[in-house]
């Protein structure tokens, strides 16, 4: 009998899963994805919002092979199906072992937590678990940080589920402000405000069973907007639960029409919103750009070895094409964030790790391509393609490798930092880092050719290219540090505070001062080899300053 019961349960579960899979594959969420949401003071599509939130909770961009938009809406409409699932990702891997001290779970579950690193919301909010976490927090700061991080993730998941009110979609700020202009300063409204106003109006007119027919404004919005949003969201919920594909599409179309009618001048254009969704689907143009750069790099290597003119010209053309894709990634990001901040100046995309690496590589590739056009050696072009490729691959993969967001989400920056010195300083420093990356490429190249006993002319060419990049990087980094001191004086009232980032930036500059000094005091055959080796070492120092300090040391520059 037990076997029969288990078999029936298995068949029912498989049937439900199949239905859900069919619904997920068939439902058209185009209108839903294109809805604008104000999240963290930034305007973004529901598609972008869903990706950001899902990654924050789970460390993944999809769940059950379903898109982030589908998952977030499914959570909002069917919250009871997710509270018990192990979705909260423990980013601090050593912390996972601490769950082995909990007595309320068996050994199998302890091993699963250590291996998979995930918890359910139901498990995390248990009093026994919270008491155990409180004891851990009291013992070590690093554990307190890990627990606070999980608390934040749990809080985000609770907001998405909103099980108590069963109205998570009503908490999304999808209604533009009614006043024209100043959209970056005015908060967008949530449908919940309209719902509450409608409820209050209904209570005030109990004798009228159709409050929606009353000529009044709900939360300041006209009836066509209020009714369109409330009816559309309710219809979307019912259609979703019934797995009515056509109904879901129609309901979100109604919501989209209503929110745009609230203030067409403020609401982002359809073109901009479609570009944002496409931008997300193309991995923010990081992988397409990286693949093109990679092809250019390979062709440069072939042209350098075979000395075939048409291959060289093709390599130049493909690398320039990669540069154009790279420029497009920057331009689209700039254009998308402009609507949130209200002007083009403050929207320049160079304010976090993702953007700084993106811009750094762009400036470096630009300089190298100019030098390649001038010298026509093939080496500058190869270095440009290599650094461009590695940088774009790095910012694509970093969130998945490290388990943390590096700024891929479009957002605004702290007001105290928004001065023109931000752009001058960050542009110079990131450009120097890209050039340092190219000295690394030339250093590796030189050492390999030296060990292969290559022709002296070849070695000299590589060494000359390396020296050009070294000197450019040294001077640009030095000027960048000076402008950083000026920026710090404007923003924080002191030019130097020995913040970890400031200290290691100065250390990096000193390292390159030493490299150049050693270059000029060293003579003989080891001169170029020493320069190549030190270029590799210097790159490691720079990388720790740029990436390591941000991940392992807390300071005023932790956002950068």
Is the separation of the CB atoms in 505 and 429 below 8 Å?
yes
Same domain, 503 and 543: yes
> Given the structure tokens 């774009």, which residue do they identify?
392
Same domain, 323 and 452: no
Same domain, 535 and 490: yes
- Tell me whether residue 352 is in a domain: yes
> What's the distance, CA 432 to chain centroid?
23
Is the separation of the CB atoms in 110 and 99 below 8 Å?
yes
- Tell me whether residue 83 is in a domain: no
- Determine how β-strand 118-120 pairs with β-strand 42-45: unpaired
Query: Please, which residues bridge with residue 36 across strands?
Result: 45
Tens of each residue's pLDDT in the chain, 560 residues: 444 544 444 444 444 444 466 898 899 999 999 999 998 878 899 999 999 999 999 988 899 999 999 999 999 999 989 999 999 998 888 888 887 777 778 888 888 988 899 999 999 988 888 888 888 877 777 778 788 889 999 999 999 998 666 678 888 999 998 875 544 456 888 888 777 776 666 566 555 544 444 434 566 788 888 889 989 999 999 999 999 999 999 999 999 999 999 999 889 999 999 999 999 999 999 999 999 999 999 999 999 888 889 999 999 999 999 999 999 999 999 988 876 666 777 778 887 888 888 998 999 999 999 999 998 889 999 999 999 999 999 999 988 877 777 777 766 555 445 567 777 888 888 889 999 999 999 999 999 999 988 888 889 999 999 999 999 999 999 998 888 878 777 666 666 666 777 778 888 889 999 998 888 888 777 889 999 999 999 999 988 887 777 666 544 555 45
Q: Which residues contact 47 (CB under 8 A, 6 or more apart)?
A: 33, 34, 68, 69, 276, 277, 280
Sign of torsion, CA 236 239 241 243? negative
- Tell me whether residue 550 is in a domain: yes
Among residues 388, 412, 436, the one where a domain terminates is: 412
Among residues 371, 387, 412, the one where a domain terminates is: 412
Same domain, 437 and 535: yes
Rg over alpha carbons for the chain, rounded to the nearest Å, is 28
Is the separation of the CB atoms in 476 and 435 below 8 Å?
yes
Same domain, 361 and 459: no
Same domain, 395 and 429: no
Record the tokens describing residue 58, joined without a space: 């789970």
Report d(CA 88, CA 130) in Å as an integer.
15
Same domain, 551 and 514: yes
Same domain, 355 and 308: yes
Same domain, 396 and 498: no
Helix (H, G, I), strand (E, B) or coil at 272: helix
Same domain, 512 and 524: yes
Sign of torsion, CA 553 555 558 560? negative
Q: What angle do CA 487, 490, 491 make, to 5 degrees?
A: 85
- Tell me whether residue 331 is in a domain: yes
Q: Report the number of distinct structural domains present in the chain.
A: 2
Q: How far apart are the first and last CA of the chain?
A: 62
- Determine how β-strand 36-39 pairs with β-strand 118-120: unpaired
Same domain, 494 and 513: yes
Question: What are residue 44's phi and psi, to 5 degrees?
Answer: -155, 160
Report d(CA 234, CA 167) in Å as an integer.
10
Give the range of the structural domain holding residue 306, as residue numbers without chain letter. 282-412
Among residues 377, 412, 447, the one where a domain terminates is: 412
For 228-258, give one letter per residue: b (16+ CB within 10 A) or e.
bbbebbbbbbebbeeebbebbbbbbbbbbeb
Same domain, 427 and 402: no
Is the separation of the CB atoms in 58 and 89 below 8 Å?
yes
- Tell me whether residue 292 is in a domain: yes
- Tell me whether residue 11 is in a domain: no
> Longest Cα pair distance anywhere in the chain, in angstroms?
100
- Tell me whether residue 173 is in a domain: no
- Tell me whether residue 148 is in a domain: no
């Amino acid at each position: 009998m037990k076997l029969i019961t288990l078999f029936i349960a298995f068949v029912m579960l498989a049937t439900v899963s199949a239905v859900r899979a069919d619904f997920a594959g068939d439902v058209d969420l185009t209108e839903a994805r294109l809805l604008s949401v104000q999240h963290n003071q930034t305007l973004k599509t529901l598609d972008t919002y869903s990706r950001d939130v899902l990654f924050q909770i789970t460390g993944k961009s999809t769940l059950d092979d379903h898109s982030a938009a589908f998952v977030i809406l499914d959570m909002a409409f069917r919250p009871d199906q997710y509270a018990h699932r192990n979705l909260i990702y423990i980013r601090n891997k050593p912390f996972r072992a601490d769950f082995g001290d909990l007595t309320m779970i068996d050994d199998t579950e302890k091993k699963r937590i250590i291996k998979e690193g995930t918890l359910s919301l139901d498990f995390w909010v248990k009093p026994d678990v919270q008491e155990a976490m409180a004891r851990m927090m009291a013992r070590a700061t690093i554990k307190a940080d890990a627990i606070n991080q999980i608390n934040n993730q749990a809080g985000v998941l609770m907001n998405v589920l909103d099980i108590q009110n069963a109205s998570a979609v009503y908490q999304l700020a999808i209604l533009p402000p009614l006043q024209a202009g100043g959209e970056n300063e005015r908060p967008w409204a949530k449908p919940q405000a309209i719902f509450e106003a409608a409820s209050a109006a209904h209570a005030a007119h109990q004798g009228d069973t159709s409050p929606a027919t009353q000529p009044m404004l709900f939360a300041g919005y006209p009836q066509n907007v209020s009714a369109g949003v409330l009816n559309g969201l309710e219809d979307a919920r019912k259609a979703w639960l019934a797995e009515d594909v056509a109904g879901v599409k129609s309901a979100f179309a109604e919501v989209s029409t209503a929110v745009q009618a609230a203030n067409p001048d403020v609401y982002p254009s359809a073109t901009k919103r479609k570009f944002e969704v496409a931008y997300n689907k193309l991995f923010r143009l990081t992988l397409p750009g990286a693949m093109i750069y990679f092809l250019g790099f390979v062709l440069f290597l072939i042209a350098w070895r075979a000395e075939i003119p048409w291959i060289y010209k093709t390599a130049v053309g493909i690398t320039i094409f990669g540069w154009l894709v790279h420029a497009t990634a920057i331009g689209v990001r700039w254009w998308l964030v402009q609507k949130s901040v209200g002007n083009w100046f403050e929207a320049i995309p160079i304010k976090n790790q993702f953007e700084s690496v993106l811009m750094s590589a762009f400036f470096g590739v630009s300089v190298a391509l100019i030098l390649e056009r001038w010298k026509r050696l093939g080496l500058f072009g190869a270095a440009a393609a290599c650094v461009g490729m590695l940088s774009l691959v790095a910012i694509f993969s970093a969130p998945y490798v490290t388990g943390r967001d590096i700024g891929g989400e479009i957002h605004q920056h702290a007001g105290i930092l928004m001065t023109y010195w931000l752009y001058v300083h960050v542009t110079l420093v990131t450009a120097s880092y890209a050039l340092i990356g190219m000295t690394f490429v030339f250093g590796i190249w030189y050492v390999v050719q030296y060990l292969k006993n290559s022709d002296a002319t070849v070695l000299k060419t590589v060494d000359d290219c390396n020296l050009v990049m070294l000197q450019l990087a040294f001077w640009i980094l030095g000027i960048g540090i000076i402008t950083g001191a000026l920026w710090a004086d404007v923003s924080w009232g002191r030019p130097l505070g020995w913040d970890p980032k400031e200290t290691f930036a100065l250390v990096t500059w000193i390292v390159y001062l030493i490299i150049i000094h050693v270059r000029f005091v060293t003579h003989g055959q080891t001169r170029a080899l020493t320069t190549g080796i030190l270029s590799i070492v210097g790159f490691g120092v720079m990388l720790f300053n740029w990436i390591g300090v941000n991940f392992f040391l807390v300071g005023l520059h932790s956002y950068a």
